[in-house]
Amino acid sequence: MPNPRVSIVMSCYNAAHTLRRAVDSMLQQSYSNFEFIIVDDGSTDETLVILKKYQIEDERIHLIVNGNNLGLAASLNKGIKQSKGEYIARMDADDESLLHRLEQQVSFLDKQEHIDILGTGIVTRTAASKEVAKHVLPEIHRDIIANVFKKPLVFHPTIMVRKNIFEKHGYYDPAITWAEDADLWYRVYDKVRFHNLQEPLLYYTLKQQFRWRHAKQNILVKIDHLKKRNKLLMYAPQLMYDVLNFGRKMISPSN
């Protein structure tokens, strides 16, 4: 696509068993003026084989291949920096976007020029595609950032962002291997405007496999930003709650 309005950016690592459903859900969108930038992050399964077939079949797909596994943040940065669109839409290789997701997000951002980052609601489901629950986050900016260090501001796989936000405020930190989205929001939440559509426009696959290193990364990222903003003592009870509760839940849909 020579002049796409939207650049969908997705990173894949050993995602062969879920990839087709994710890719198909984007290629079949009711809104079609997009490029689909897919980064294969050093996969060792059939992911790259599948992606090359898709690339042949649909000219909107732009495939980037990492020689080794660089991680999600670095891979997303690669895709964003090579994108041509005015809007950046995120997608994950194990999720599924609903048919009108892009259409509704583009329409909203076109009309609401003061909004920079737009999320949507989600429906969580198991790896076996059993629906679990509908989730929505606060709708307007004021209510969203009121819980900035307590709850997700947006569901990361659902977002559509004006590309100039990355160019102005910076990209994902490649040194962060988990909670790369939270780190970015902590950096920019008082410099940009958020909004969440209340309609679920993405099926989010719950991650059943919890690792303490994920919880540790989330907490360390939060502590770092609280220190920078001189709010560490104020949020000490929240940090204790995070430590006690992270391991009891499936991985959060904010990542």
pLDDT digits (tens, 9 = 90+) for 165-188: 999 999 999 999 888 999 999 999
What domains are there in the chain, each with its CATH number?
A: 6-248 (3.90.550.10)
- Which is nearest to 22 in space by CA: 106, 97, 84, 75? 97
> Tell me: the pLDDT tens digits for 13-57?
999 999 999 999 999 999 999 999 999 999 999 999 999 999 999
Strand partners, 61: 36
> Tell me: the pLDDT tens digits for 46-89?
999 999 999 999 999 999 999 999 999 999 999 999 999 999 99
Please give the pLDDT value at position 212. 66
Residue 59: alpha-carbon gap to chain centroid: 24
Mean pLDDT value across residues 207-228: 80
Please give the pLDDT value at position 242. 81
> Is the predicted pLDDT of residue 253 greater than 60, yes or no?
no
Q: Taking the model in full, what pTM does it have? A: 0.92
Q: How confident is the model at residue 250 (pLDDT cuts 50, 70, 90)?
A: very low
Strand partners, 123: 134, 203
Distances (CA, A) of 100 to 21, 119, 120: 16, 14, 12
